[in-house]
């Protein structure tokens, strides 16, 4: 059977000093992708795809969503250091303010560049300027499939802020990034996140049994999906 190729990865191996080529076959599509020493470049139909971007600021009825900066580190550390926030979200509590600053300055932008992800947003309640949570895309599964994630300070739980923020980002992403699908994953014991997924119209697509969370505890991992066609209904 005649095959066409979906993507081409060129990965420069630091200790080998040479490139290794990876070719993934797929029928009827050709999209070359080149990854070299952590940088992400994408070509589609012969053109270079630049880093995806969204507006620096969005507003909803009760919230302002804005790009996070290092000046927000103390506010973010206030909730990211709390076990009740971090463990359900899949990461250990941030230990120090310096760790949070390093994350904002290096880890977050480097991840976004590597996976060609938009910057995402901090969640601010109108009338204040304090970031109390975040909503962003944390993983790219396909060129038109992203995974969304969110966190929120416990003082603001139960007010519907996460669904409101996520709804704004989802709507913008389907329109501006031309996504086909958005996915969401959470642990089986994270009932709050499951309720958010259901409120937003996501469908439970898979239950992966006996995974480990950030504490090493066995638990189910749930995967939800939302198609663009479902969002537009």
Per DSSP, the three-state class of 84 is: helix
Sign for the pseudo-dihedral over CA of 108, 116, 202, 135? positive
Q: Are strands 145-152 and 181-187 parallel, antiparallel or unpaired?
A: parallel
Maximum Cα interatomic distance, the chain, rounded to a whole number of Å: 62
The Cα–Cα gap between 219 and 55 comes to: 37
The Cα–Cα gap between 112 and 67 comes to: 13
CATH class for the region spanning 57-231: alpha beta
Task: With beta carbons less than 8 A apart as the criterion, state whether 100 and 117 touch.
Answer: no
Quick: pLDDT tens for 100-144. 999 999 999 999 999 999 989 999 999 999 999 999 999 999 999
Task: Using the predicted structure, report yes or no on whether residue 26 has a pLDDT greater than 60.
Answer: no
pTM of the model: 0.78
Strand partners, 212: 218
Q: What's the token pair of residue 82? A: 């709390």
The Cα–Cα gap between 29 and 139 comes to: 22
Domain ranges of the chain: 5-49, 57-231
- The pLDDT value recorded for residue 41 is 35
Q: What is the mean pLDDT of residues 168-182?
A: 95
Per DSSP, the three-state class of 15 is: coil
User: How open is the CA angle 89-66-233, to the nearest 5 degrees?
Assistant: 75
């Amino acid at each position: 059977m005649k095959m066409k190729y979906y993507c081409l990865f060129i990965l420069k191996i630091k200790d080998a000093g040479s490139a290794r080529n990876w070719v993934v076959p797929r029928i009827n599509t050709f999209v070359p992708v080149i990854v070299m020493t952590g940088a992400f470049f994408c070509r589609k139909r012969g053109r270079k795809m630049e880093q995806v971007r969204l507006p620096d600021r969005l507003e909803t009825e009760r919230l302002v969503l804005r790009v996070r900066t290092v000046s927000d580190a103390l506010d973010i550390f206030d909730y990211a250091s709390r076990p009740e926030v971090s463990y359900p979200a899949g990461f250990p509590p941030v230990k120090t303010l310096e760790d949070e600053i390093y994350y904002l300055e290096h880890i977050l932008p480097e991840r976004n560049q590597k996976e060609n992800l938009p910057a995402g947003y901090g969640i601010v309640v109108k009338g204040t300027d304090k970031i109390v949570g975040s909503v962003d895309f944390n993983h790219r599964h396909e060129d038109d499939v992203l995974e969304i994630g969110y966190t929120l300070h416990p003082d603001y739980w139960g007010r519907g802020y996460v669904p409101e923020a996520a709804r704004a980002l989802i709507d913008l992403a389907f329109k501006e990034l031309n996504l086909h699908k958005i996915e969401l994953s959470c642990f089986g014991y994270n009932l709050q996140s499951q309720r958010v997924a259901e409120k937003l119209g996501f469908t439970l697509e898979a239950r992966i049994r006996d995974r480990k969370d950030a504490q090493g505890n066995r638990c189910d991992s749930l995967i939800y999906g939302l198609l663009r066609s479902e969002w537009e209904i």
